[in-house]
Amino acid sequence: TLAVNMAISLADTGKRVLLVDADFRQPSLGRIFNVVSATGLGSLLESSEPLPVTAIHHTGTPWLDLILSGPTRRNPSELLNGQNFIDLLGDLAERYDYVLLDSPPAVTFTDARTIAASCDATLMVIRGKAVNRPVFERARQGLMNIGANLAGVVINGETDSPSTLPAQEGALADRFSGRQLLRRVQSFATDVNLI
C-alpha cells in the first residue's frame, strides 16, 4: 500500500514512524509485515487502559513500528467515532514523529471519513483505471464535508490518461512522478504534524 511505502520512506530519514492498520474490514498490514496479533486497534479503542506494549510491533525497518487492526469488529465505525480514538491518536502523536493510518476506501465505508476528520492531513489514493470522475468526486466531497484537510491526491496504478480525472488531479499526475510526489509529501509532513 502507499501507506507502507510512505512509512518506510519517512523512517529511512531517521524519524520515528508508526503505521496503523485502521481497515477493520480488509486489514492487510499484518500480512505485508508477516505479523499476527490478538491485540490491535480495535481492542485499544474498546479499552480505556493505557496503551499496552504488546499492541506495538517492530517491523524490522529501523524507526518503523506497527499497530494492526486486530480481530474483526461488528461495528468499527462506532469505535472510530469514540473519544478513545481521539485520545489514542493524541497519545501516539506524542510518541512518534509521524503516525500514518491506512484506512478502507472512502467511497465504500464511512470509516475513512471518520478517520480523516480526526487527522491533521489526509492523502486520497485512487486507482487510475478503476475510478471514474463521479466516484472520485463523491469520495472527495465526502472528505471535504467532514472537514478533512485533503493534502493531496495520489494516482496509484497505471492510467492511460489523467484526463479522466478532474483538471487539478490530472495536472498533478502529469507533473509528478511517484518519487517526486513522495518528496512533496515529506516536505508537507515537516510543515504539518501529519497523522
Does the CA dihedral 101-26-40-48 come out positive or negative? positive
User: Does 162 have pLDDT greater than 70?
Assistant: no
Q: Based on C-alpha coordinates, what's the Rg of the chain?
A: 16
**The pLDDT of residue 160:** 54
- Please give the CATH topology (third level) of the domain spanning 2-191: Rossmann fold (3.40.50)
User: Does 148 have pLDDT greater than 60?
Assistant: yes
Residue 79, helix vs strand vs coil: helix
pLDDT, average across residues 75-87: 88
Q: pLDDT-based confidence at 156, cuts 50/70/90?
A: confident
**The pLDDT of residue 102:** 93
Q: pLDDT-based confidence at 157, cuts 50/70/90?
A: confident
Locate 32 and state its grid cell: 505485508
Cα(175)–Cα(79) distance, rounded to whole angstroms? 39
Residue 155, helix vs strand vs coil: strand
Question: 83-121 pLDDT, tens per residue?
Answer: 999 999 999 999 999 999 999 888 888 888 999 999 999
pTM flag (> 0.75): yes
b/e string for 158-193 if b means 16 or more Cβ within 10 A?
Answer: ebeebeebeeebbebbeebeeeebbeebbeebeeee
**The pLDDT of residue 131:** 73
Question: 166-182 pLDDT, tens per residue?
Answer: 554 444 444 444 445 45
**The pLDDT of residue 190:** 39
Listed by start position, the domains of the chain span 2-191
User: Does 189 have pLDDT greater than 50?
Assistant: no
**Kind of pairing, strands 64-67 and 57-58?**
antiparallel
Tally the C-alpha atoms within 13 A of residue 54's C-alpha that lie toward its C-beta: 9
Question: 32-64 pLDDT, tens per residue?
Answer: 999 988 789 999 998 888 888 889 999 999 999
